[in-house]
Amino acid sequence: MCGIVGYVGSGNAREIIIDGLKKLEYRGYDSAGIAVIQQGKILLRKHVGGIANLENLIGDDPMTSGTGIGHTRWATHGAPSDINAHPHLNGDGTIAVVHNGIIENYLELREMLAQEYGVKFRSETDSEVIAHLIGVYYTGDLEEAVYQAVGRMRGAYAISVIAADEPEKIVAVRKDAPLIAGLGKGANFIASDIPALLKYVKEIYLIENNETVVLTPDSVKIYDENRNQVHRDVFHVTWDADAAEKEGYDHFMLKEIYEQPKSLYETLTRRLNEDGTIKLDGISMGREELEQFGKIYIVACGTAYHAGLVGKYVIEKLAKLPVEVDVASEFRYRDPFVDDKTLFIAISQSGETLDTLAALREAKSKGARVLSIVNVVGSSVARESDDVFYTWAGPEIAVASTKAYTTQLMCLYLIGLYMGFVRGTITREFHDQFIADLKEIPDKLKAYLKQAGMIEGLSKMLYNKEQVFFIGRGLDSSVSYEGSLKLKEISYINSSAFAAGELKHGPIALIEPGTLVIALATQDALYEKMLSNIQEVKARGAHVMSVAKEGNTAIEAQSNEVMYIPSCRDELTPLLSVAPLQLFSYYVARERGCNIDKPKNLAKSVTVE
């Protein structure tokens, strides 16, 4: 997702737009730009990196103008760079566009514009197509040109457009991406989200899908897709700017937990062909290449490493390929066995974790094929990989990783399925059923999150525990490690995770009356064994909070509380079972008054050894 801001009025467009973009950096921050209309021309400034880089580029240039648009980018098509940054111009620089979303048919439009109009493209982006499309339709009426252009576009987009010949106008369109209009006095605003405007206006129009907005200093008119003007009630904003960035949530972490159904849906659906098979965009490995691999390493740090633990299980089960998972800081110093028959999978939200990057370089130097699962487009890990499979989680601001983790899992399921299908280790029927089950997960998670209020209550009761154990078997043990890290890193409680079968080999010595044990028991095949492990710790006075599939009520007799998750096939439970653990950690940390989004001693991206 990206941030859009536009202004038309008697004020200083440059100042107002830059200020608004800063409030939208949580929507994307890998590049930024601004375009204003000055004496019949469009003045464009844009730069890779955060908005500070853009301000440095602008320097003391007042860019005097009352009309302009700005953009802060979260790259999807085309790595972060000056030329890929928005705004984009048409050929003669008389039209400027900023865009949030994805134009699905941009390649065919690009080809048509080049062939029929001789358009020369400057960037790798889908968004630049919009500027040229409007440009070829423009004959002095910006609304008309935008309507014509939008009629050719498919995908999700919120766009704002200015034309040099119409200096007191902005035209904006919304389709499946957020857009609002701010109502000022002698000035009006357009933006992706409320925080950008709160400093200036409290009265806004919420723009609906397929609507076009025409803004001048004295009017904001909204039109439906049939070009009929529509009335819109004024929405009075009552919350402050800080709350608005979090869209009303108290912390980015909670917002990002609740964004998971959407980010899972985005990560999955873009990879499904019409016939239900998987298209691994960014991965160019077919059967013959897959056949050559004798071993797979999954290497990462922290939460990404925990995703790799699930990935091992999934790929070994579906593709029948041996997988070894390692933390990057260990992998790079143990002289691992790697050759040209090795597939090295790096997982990294930021794509800048130095340990992971160094491990990747080590594997590459020994001939491995490198595939990375990354959230930040164009990051170092992505750039140094042979293949990149992006998680479409959008910017993850909270230090504690949540939606990046579950979208990493989604990518690993898709990779495992694809490999299994191409290698013939799973049938088409199994593949199709697995995909059908995956498709149900976003709605199941959404339903779960809607009724997760009980977890807040549990956290109020248990937040003062000074040590907590997470236990599970199979996939549940992998998720236990992630649950323990979440609790540890934001509430500072000394939590540990163990494979439940390991309790009797030592850790059970730590169980005392009142020790909190969080037991994950979602795997049907291991359910009975988990009940025994729960009895073991219960017998020693532990307070047991279990996580189980809906309907498995036998666990209630052994547990103090049970957090039920929607039922699904065993392989997919990590996508759901991690949610109660994320929420429990969040509410416990809140009860303990911790700095949830920025925990002490931690950074969002660890770019040091």
Closer to ligand AGP at the Cβ: 177 or 360?
360
From 20-28, 269-277, 342-350, 409-417, give the range in contact with ligand AGP by CB under 6 A: 342-350
28 binds ligand AGP (CB under 6 A): no
Active-site annotation holds for 604 = yes
CA distances from 356 to 299, 348, 476 (A): 7, 7, 25
161 binds ligand AGP (CB under 6 A): no
From 50-58, 121-129, 299-307, 430-438, give the range in contact with ligand AGP by CB under 6 A: 299-307
| H-only helix segments in 320-402 | 328-331, 354-365, 380-383
356 binds ligand AGP (CB under 6 A): yes
From 180-188, 232-240, 343-351, 461-469, give the range in contact with ligand AGP by CB under 6 A: 343-351
Owner of token pair 């912390």: 251
What is the distance, to the nearest Å, from the Cα of residue 376 to the centroid of all Cα atoms in its chain?
A: 9
Shortest Å distance, C-beta 350 to ligand AGP: 3
Rule CB under 6 A: choose which of 12, 188, 353, 491 binds ligand AGP. Answer: 353
Cα–Cα dist 271/429, whole Å: 18
Shortest Å distance, C-beta 603 to ligand AGP: 8
What are 224's two structure tokens? 């439906």
Closer to ligand AGP at the Cβ: 315 or 404?
404
358 binds ligand AGP (CB under 6 A): no
302 binds ligand AGP (CB under 6 A): yes
CA gyration radius, the chain: 26
Shortest Å distance, C-beta 594 to ligand AGP: 14
CB 494 within 8 A of CB 500: no
Cα–Cα dist 3/605, whole Å: 22
Rule CB under 6 A: choose which of 380, 401, 478, 480 binds ligand AGP. Answer: 401
Q: Show the binding pattern over residues 499-538: x = contacts ligand AGP (CB under 6 A), - = does not.
A: ----------------------------------------
Cα–Cα dist 480/415, whole Å: 23
Q: Which residue is nearest to ligand AGP (CB)?
A: 302
350 binds ligand AGP (CB under 6 A): yes
User: Using CB under 6 A, which residues numbered 416 to 435 contact ligand AGP?
Assistant: none
Task: Pick left, alpha or beta for residue 336 (phi over 0 → left; psi -120 to 50 → alpha; otherwise beta).
Answer: beta
Shortest Å distance, C-beta 37 to ligand AGP: 40
Shortest Å distance, C-beta 5 to ligand AGP: 28
Residue of 2, 301, 411, 594 with catalytic role: 2
Closer to ligand AGP at the Cβ: 58 or 606?
606
Closer to ligand AGP at the Cβ: 223 or 586?
586
CB atoms within 10 A of CB 572: 21
CB 45 within 8 A of CB 31: no
Residues 6 or more apart whose Cβ sits within 8 Å of residue 606: 301, 353, 354, 355
Closer to ligand AGP at the Cβ: 213 or 304?
304
Rule CB under 6 A: choose which of 142, 399, 409, 471 binds ligand AGP. Answer: 399
Rule CB under 6 A: choose which of 123, 192, 303, 582 binds ligand AGP. Answer: 303
477 binds ligand AGP (CB under 6 A): no
- State the virtual CA torsion across 58, 61, 64, 66 in degrees, nearest 10: 20
CB atoms within 10 A of CB 443: 13
Q: What phi and psi, each to the nearest 5 degrees, are found at residue 192? A: -75, -30
H or E element, residue 468: strand 467-472
Nearest to 521 by CA among 492, 494, 489, 554: 554
Residue 573 burial (C-beta neighbours within 10 Å; 0-12, 13-18, 19+): buried
3-state secondary structure of 4: strand
Closer to ligand AGP at the Cβ: 192 or 350?
350
Cα–Cα dist 305/83, whole Å: 34
Residue of 295, 366, 465, 604 with catalytic role: 604
From 203-211, 300-308, 425-433, 515-523, give the range in contact with ligand AGP by CB under 6 A: 300-308
Shortest Å distance, C-beta 151 to ligand AGP: 41
478 binds ligand AGP (CB under 6 A): no
Rule CB under 6 A: choose which of 1, 2, 301, 516 binds ligand AGP. Answer: 301
304 binds ligand AGP (CB under 6 A): yes
3-state secondary structure of 182: strand
Shortest Å distance, C-beta 164 to ligand AGP: 42
Give the start-end residues of each E strand in 522-560. Answer: 543-549
From 25-33, 47-55, 302-310, 334-342, give the range in contact with ligand AGP by CB under 6 A: 302-310
CB 161 within 8 A of CB 134: yes
Closer to ligand AGP at the Cβ: 353 or 480?
353
Cα–Cα dist 427/132, whole Å: 46
Rule CB under 6 A: choose which of 123, 349, 546, 559 binds ligand AGP. Answer: 349
Owner of token pair 């940390």: 589
Cα–Cα dist 146/565, whole Å: 47
605 binds ligand AGP (CB under 6 A): yes
Active-site annotation holds for 403 = no
Closer to ligand AGP at the Cβ: 102 or 388?
388
3-state secondary structure of 330: helix
Closer to ligand AGP at the Cβ: 401 or 406?
401
CB 459 within 8 A of CB 589: no
76 binds ligand AGP (CB under 6 A): no
Rule CB under 6 A: choose which of 243, 358, 454, 606 binds ligand AGP. Answer: 606
Owner of token pair 């050559």: 292
CB atoms within 10 A of CB 115: 9
Residues of 548-566 as b/e, b for ≥16 C-beta within 10 angstroms?
Answer: bbeebeebeebbbbbbbbb
Residues binding ligand AGP: what is the number (CB under 6 A)?
15
400 binds ligand AGP (CB under 6 A): yes
Binding residues for ligand AGP (CB under 6 A): 301-304, 348-350, 353, 356, 399-401, 489, 605-606
As annotated, the active-site residues are: 2, 604
